[in-house]
């Protein structure tokens, strides 16, 4: 495999969000179906007797009551309407419970997700060649094999359940109609419950496998990591060029500001901070340039060329360099020390002393 082709990096938050927006999620359809089936069985166990009672009463009324003998239009319409509303009220809890359980099973797996783009027609899904490739892909072959194994396991569980009731079923000829109905009901519920339980166990394993495969698919190669960093932070070359231009602009600004400074405070060679103060326009002294290393040397050189005093004040230079950016006024903690420096400089130059007292 080519260099950078191994997916060895965990997915970044951006990649996960992008995959989610594209509908690439770890979910198991079998888990939702199994939970819905199990919930439907539980609902039937709760409301089943009421449904059976309604159906039995409906059959008795339909076959023995006046509705069976009266074929008038009004009676027929009333019979259809009553039957519809009766069935609706009886079956509505079952439908509502199934819908709620299906929504809950989906929400637990993927949360709330709205993808309007998935509603658009994708012609690749109706392309016969693409369809054949999907059908005979390794993923779908694995899915078919898992489905066959699931059917065989469910059939085995159902057979074991029927075998345990075989004696009762064979002797059902001696039971009356009510007992036969009860036997059919309990046997059906028991078989459905066993099947749903097996499907749920298989679905849990399938969901775990889907999550593992999803994490493997989301892993990134070295090249993908580099491309994402470039997209998120911009091209490194462009970013470096932008920083260089910014530094150049800042240097040009400092070059034009240093001659206007009143004093340059140094460390003495590593740091240099140029300070300007105009009591008419400034509330406090302002740092107009600062730098370290070669930049500090350049500041000192420009200051000496333009007659700006350069004074060595190590603690003050270090404090100003750490706490003040270019264009900012000095903080209150260093105000007295800067005021003393400015007084000293003005006295040396024989200028009128500005009011810089704290």
CA separation for the pair 153, 73 (Å, rounded) = 53
Provide the residue ranges of all domains of the chain, joining segments of one domain with +: 257-349
pLDDT by 10s per residue, the chain, length 358: 344 457 777 877 778 777 777 767 777 777 778 888 888 888 777 777 777 777 777 777 766 666 556 666 777 677 777 777 877 777 777 778 778 877 787 777 766 665 555 555 555 555 555 555 555 566 667 777 777 887 888 788 878 877 877 777 777 777 776 677 677 777 888 888 888 888 888 888 888 888 888 888 888 887 877 777 777 665 566 666 777 666 666 666 777 888 888 899 998 778 999 999 888 888 889 998 888 888 888 888 888 988 889 999 999 999 998 988 888 888 888 888 888 888 888 888 777 666 544 4
Over the range 15-36, which residues count as b (16 or more CB within 10 Å of their CB) and which as e? bbeebeeeeeebbbebbbbbbb
Give the pair of three-digit tokens for residue 115: 């993808």
In DSSP terms, 274 is beta-bridged to 264, 289
pTM of the model as a whole: 0.46
Q: What is the pLDDT of residue 129?
A: 58
Q: What is the pLDDT of residue 353?
A: 62
Q: What is the pLDDT of residue 265?
A: 92
Integer-rounded Cα radius of gyration of the chain:
42
Which CATH number describes the domain made up of 257-349? 3.40.1690.10
Q: What is the pLDDT of residue 264?
A: 92
C-beta atoms surrounding 111 within 10 Å: 9
Q: What is the pLDDT of residue 137?
A: 64
Which ranges of the chain would DSSP assign to H, the alpha helix? 13-21, 29-64, 66-69, 73-110, 128-135, 138-164, 166-170, 177-218, 222-233, 236-257, 294-305, 314-323, 335-349
CA separation for the pair 112, 172 (Å, rounded) = 50
In DSSP terms, 131 is beta-bridged to none
Interacting residues of 213 by C-beta distance below 8 A, sequence separation 6+: 26
Q: What is the pLDDT of residue 266?
A: 92
């Amino acid at each position: 495999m080519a260099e950078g082709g191994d997916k060895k990096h965990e997915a970044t938050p951006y990649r996960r969000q992008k995959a989610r927006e594209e509908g690439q999620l770890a979910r198991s359809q079998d888990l939702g179906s199994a939970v819905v089936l199990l919930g439907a069985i539980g609902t039937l166990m709760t409301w089943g007797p009421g449904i059976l009672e309604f159906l039995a009463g409906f059959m008795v009324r339909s076959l023995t009551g006046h509705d069976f003998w009266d074929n008038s239009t009004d009676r027929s319409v009333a019979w259809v309407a009553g039957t519809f509303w009766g069935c609706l009220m009886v079956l509505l809890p079952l439908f509502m419970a199934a819908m709620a359980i299906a929504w809950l099973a989906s929400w637990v797996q993927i949360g709330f997700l709205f993808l309007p783009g998935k509603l658009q027609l994708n012609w690749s899904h109706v392309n016969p060649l693409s369809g054949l490739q999907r059908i005979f892909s390794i993923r779908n072959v694995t899915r078919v094999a898992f489905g066959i194994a699931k059917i065989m396991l469910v059939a085995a569980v159902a057979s074991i359940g029927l075998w345990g009731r075989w004696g009762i079923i064979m002797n059902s000829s001696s039971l009356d109609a009510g007992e036969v109905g009860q036997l059919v009901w309990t046997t059906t519920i028991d078989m459905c419950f066993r099947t749903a339980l097996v499907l749920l166990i298989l679905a849990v394993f399938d969901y775990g496998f889907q999550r593992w495969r999803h994490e493997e698919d989301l892993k990134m190669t070295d090249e993908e990591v580099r491309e994402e960093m470039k997209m998120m932070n911009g091209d490194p070359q462009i970013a470096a060029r932008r920083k260089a231009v910014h530094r150049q602009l800042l240097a040009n600004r400092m070059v034009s500001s240093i001659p206007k400074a009143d004093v340059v405070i140094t460390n003495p060679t590593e740091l240099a901070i140029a300070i300007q103060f105009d009591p008419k326009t400034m509330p406090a002294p302002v740092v107009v340039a600062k730098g370290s290393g070669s930049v500090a040397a350049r500041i000192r050189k420009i200051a000496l060329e333009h007659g700006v005093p350069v004074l060595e004040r190590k603690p003050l230079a270090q404090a100003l360099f750490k706490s003040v950016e270019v264009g900012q006024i000095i903080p209150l903690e260093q105000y007295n020390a800067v005021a003393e420096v400015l007084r000293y400089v003005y006295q040396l130059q024989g200028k009128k002393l500005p009011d810089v007292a704290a």
